[in-house]
Amino acid sequence: MARMSKKRRLELLDEARADEELRIMELLKEEDLFQKSLTPLIENYLDAFVIYKTMYDKWLDLGFPPTKTHTNKAGAVNEMKHPLSQQVETWNEKKNKLLDLLGMTNKGKSVQKTTNNQAVNASVDELAAHRNKWRKVK
């Protein structure tokens, strides 16, 4: 990737932040989750997003190397997890925690995926029959 000026890189980050803010606000409003009191949390998320994007872009520029070699004081060469991959992972986790606090994850939501309602009704009927069998008093 061609090197770009620091000013241009900052402009791109500002654009990405604005786009992400718009996306988050639209999603929150669609789900009726937006409240003015969420503004500081949204700002924290956007800051984490910018840091994540910065680290991700740097790691992308390097070609996503998984490891990096390091020479210690004794002269031994060791491979270690690439520092940028660690940063990307850390900031991605922070973003996800903030999204969870905003109520934008499926955590805690029970979603049943079925191909037809008959399968659900059959399992409910089977469960009801089992309950009735053991509830009968002799």
Q: What is the pLDDT along the chain (138 residues), one digit of tens a residue?
A: 457 888 999 999 999 999 999 999 999 999 898 999 999 999 999 999 999 999 999 999 999 999 999 999 999 999 999 999 999 999 999 999 999 999 888 875 544 444 444 444 555 677 777 777 777 655
Place of tokens 């089977």: 126
114: CB partners within 8 A, 6+ apart? 120
Is 55 in contact with 84 (CB distance < 8 Å)? yes
What's this model's pTM, rounded to 2 decimal places? 0.70
Neighbours of 95 (CB within 10 A): 20
CB of 45 within 8 A of CB of 82?
Answer: no
For residue 41, how far is the Cα from the chain centroid?
A: 15
CA distances to 15, 46, 98 from 8, rounded to whole Å, are: 11, 19, 28
Strands, E assignment, the chain: 67-71, 77-81
What was the pLDDT predicted at 116?
46
